[in-house]
Chains A and B, each alone.
Chain A
Amino acid sequence: MNVLFFLCGFIAVVFVLFISVYLIISGLPAIQEIGLVDFLFGTTWASTASEPSFGILPFILTSIYGTAGAIVLGVPVGFMTAVFLAKVAPPKLAAVVRPAVDLLAGIPSVVYGLIGMMVLVPAVREFFNLPDGASLFCAIIVLAVMILPSIISVSENALKAVPREYEEASLALGATHIETVFRVSVPAASSGIAASVVLGIGRAIGEAMAIIMVAGNVANMPGLFKSVRFLTTAVASEMAYASGLQRQALFSIALVLFLFIMLINVVLNTLLKRKKG
């Protein structure tokens, strides 16, 4: 029995190693053939052209810009909502808002994509007078909404863990409730809030299905109202029919994405550790 449990205990490690090794093995050949610099910093992706070119800089930059945009829009709203839930909301109101946030987290990404495609894309086209509304801008808004729940719940937990004495001391010195929350509780919970932002970055950079429906999917260099492709959507949109070097290049894109995610995971882990210690 002990051996059996021992094996089960290692299952997560086995899966992580398995995925890493598999991605590295299948991602490296194309990078070797194309050349690391040409692959990472090439600005044209024309995988099906007669003289194919595999530069993924547009995808990398789009993923970075898209994620940054989502963070800029999503973090303030998420952070304020978290502060509201943890410190300001009357219990009865919090009991309504909190389940709403949980529900937002549970909505499948294709549903976000559908709403984005049917409401946001036409609205952006009308409003900014564009030939096609599907753009980086739409993707940023959809991502910002999708990362809200993770930012809210992680920040809220961090804020709730701030010792009550800190706040009482501040109140006793004559600070108002709001001043106490923003000048005492928030700095005390800063590493947890930072962790929530990093978690949001991870979510945004890994999302595929929702943004494939709103970002337009042309391998342009990123521009706010241009049709763009992310690292994730580059893999998803060509996988169905790719073959040969093109297919291997898609695995290499996945490898790049995986390295980004691993980096984010390590940062997240150190932040959470610091909070505990």
Chain B
Amino acid sequence: MVTIKMQPLSGKRKAYDRILRFLLYFCAALTCALLIFIIGYIFVKGLPHITWEFLSTEPSFIRDSIGILPNILNTVYLVVVTLIIILPLGVGAAIYLTEYATNRRLVSILEFATETLTGIPSIIFGLVGMLFFCQFLGLQASLLAGSLTLVIMTIPTIICTTQESLKTVPQSYREAALGLGAGKWHMIRTVVLPSSVDGIVTGCILSIGRIVGESAALLFTAGMGMSMNSFFSSFDNFIHSSGASLTVALYVYARERAEFDVAFAIAAILMILTLLINLTAKLVGRKLKKK
């Protein structure tokens, strides 16, 4: 019987171990504390000012009241229009990259472009969007121009998440479908896409998160108006309505009008939306993993 006697750790090694372990816990705690502080502060300052009237009216100088219904509707408009445009484009791009493209060089160039697009700051999207959509195409500052700018900005999100989930569809599914005599597009439509729906949904949720939180790209493209739009009364209204999204409204109220209660209330609403979006993305992601 041989007994192995472990030498006790030297004092220096013990200290190294202790100090680093402490730092690790400290930094993780700091990160969490920051988050808790931000959420707590926003909720304490913002939640008391959220009333039904605040959510359901537009600002009125006569009654000297501020409501954010127009901003909520503008945000919904931006989300819906942007998603309608990026869904087919983004999913199409992902299908091309995973199912059709055969040249590896080409695929890596295309993926590099997608990554580059992710890295471009939103203020640059805002500037180019303003120059191209608002001035060159004559849309002026309008929600449609804002949506089109957001399309350029958020398309990488959809492409990446869709691509990831297309890659998880087993090759044997495709072979089986092709073996049964299905054409390529028929195979994609009936076999590949249905099994990657979860990934596409995750992509949509993440895109909604980016759209709801975006401000710099919208400042010069979608306008800063605070009054109601009637998008659907005519086609012309649909194209030319302009106004501030929730984020831009927060910025305007905080920086230009010194209405800090309103700004905090909007911030609280944005935080609740962020929480909901994160939660949904997580649930869908978990469902995806189970498969």
Interface residues of B in 17-53 (CB under 8 A from A): 17, 20-21, 23-28, 30-32, 34-35, 38-39, 41-42, 45
* Partner among A10, A80, A96, A205 whose Cβ is within 8 Å of the Cβ of B121: A205
A9 to B97, CA, bound (A): 6
Residues of A within 8 Å of B220, CB to CB, are: 239-240
* Partner among A8, A101, A104 whose Cβ is within 8 Å of the Cβ of B95: A8
Residues of B within 8 Å of A79, CB to CB, are: 27
Residues of A within 8 Å of B74, CB to CB, are: none
Other A-B pairs, 4, CB within 8 Å; known A9-B101, A15-B113, A88-B21: A77-B27, A80-B23, A81-B24, A254-B127
Residues of A within 8 Å of B132, CB to CB, are: 18, 22
Does residue A108 face the partner (Cβ distance < 8 Å to B)? yes
Interface residues of A in 205-254 (CB under 8 A from B): 205-209, 212-213, 232, 235-236, 239-240, 250-251, 254
Interface residues of B in 63-102 (CB under 8 A from A): 88-90, 92-93, 95-97, 99-101
Residues of B within 8 Å of A8, CB to CB, are: 88-90, 92-93, 95-96
Does residue A97 face the partner (Cβ distance < 8 Å to B)? yes
Given known pairs A81-B28, A111-B42, the reply for A13 and B110 (CB within 8 Å) is yes
16 A-B pairs with CB atoms under 8 Å apart are: A7-B92, A9-B100, A9-B101, A78-B27, A83-B24, A101-B35, A106-B209, A209-B216, A209-B219, A209-B251, A236-B216, A240-B220, A250-B127, A254-B123, A261-B121, A264-B119
Which stretch in B172-180, B190-198, B232-240, B266-274 binds the other chain?
Answer: B266-274
Which chain A residue has the least Cβ–Cβ distance from B112?
A269
Q: Is the CB of A108 within 8 A of B247?
A: yes
Q: Is the CB of B156 within 8 A of A9?
A: no
A85 to B130, CA, bound (A): 42
Top 9 closest pairs, chain A to chain B, by CB: A206-B121, A8-B92, A9-B96, A108-B213, A80-B27, A5-B96, A12-B113, A208-B123, A84-B28
Given known pairs A100-B32, A257-B121, the reply for A236 and B92 (CB within 8 Å) is no
Does residue B263 face the partner (Cβ distance < 8 Å to A)? yes
* Partner among B95, B121, B219 whose Cβ is within 8 Å of the Cβ of A5: B95
Q: Is the CB of B9 within 8 A of A107?
A: no
Does residue A126 face the partner (Cβ distance < 8 Å to B)? no
Does residue A72 face the partner (Cβ distance < 8 Å to B)? no
Which chain A residue has the least Cβ–Cβ distance from B109?
A13
Q: Is the CB of A206 within 8 A of B263?
A: no
Given known pairs A15-B152, A104-B34, A235-B123, the reply for A76 and B110 (CB within 8 Å) is no
Q: Is the CB of B113 within 8 A of A235?
A: no
Q: How far is the CB of B89 from chain A (nearest CB, A)?
A: 6
Q: How far is the CB of B161 from chain A (nearest CB, A)?
A: 14
Residues of B within 8 Å of A202, CB to CB, are: 119
Does residue B201 face the partner (Cβ distance < 8 Å to A)? no
Residues 140-151 of chain B, each 1 if its beta carbon lies under 8 Å from chain A, else 0: 000000000000
Q: Is the CB of A265 within 8 A of B28?
A: no
Residues of B within 8 Å of A139, CB to CB, are: none
Q: How far is the CB of B127 from chain A (nearest CB, A)?
A: 5
Does residue B131 face the partner (Cβ distance < 8 Å to A)? yes
Does residue B169 face the partner (Cβ distance < 8 Å to A)? no
Does residue B139 face the partner (Cβ distance < 8 Å to A)? no
Q: Is the CB of B116 within 8 A of A265?
A: yes
Residues 132-144 of chain A, each 1 if its beta carbon lies under 8 Å from chain B, else 0: 0000000000000
Which chain A residue has the least Cβ–Cβ distance from B255?
A213
Q: Is the CB of B185 within 8 A of A1?
A: yes
Interface residues of B in 132-173 (CB under 8 A from A): 132, 152, 155-156, 159
Does residue A127 face the partner (Cβ distance < 8 Å to B)? no
Q: Is the CB of B17 within 8 A of A179?
A: yes
Q: Is the CB of A176 within 8 A of B31?
A: no
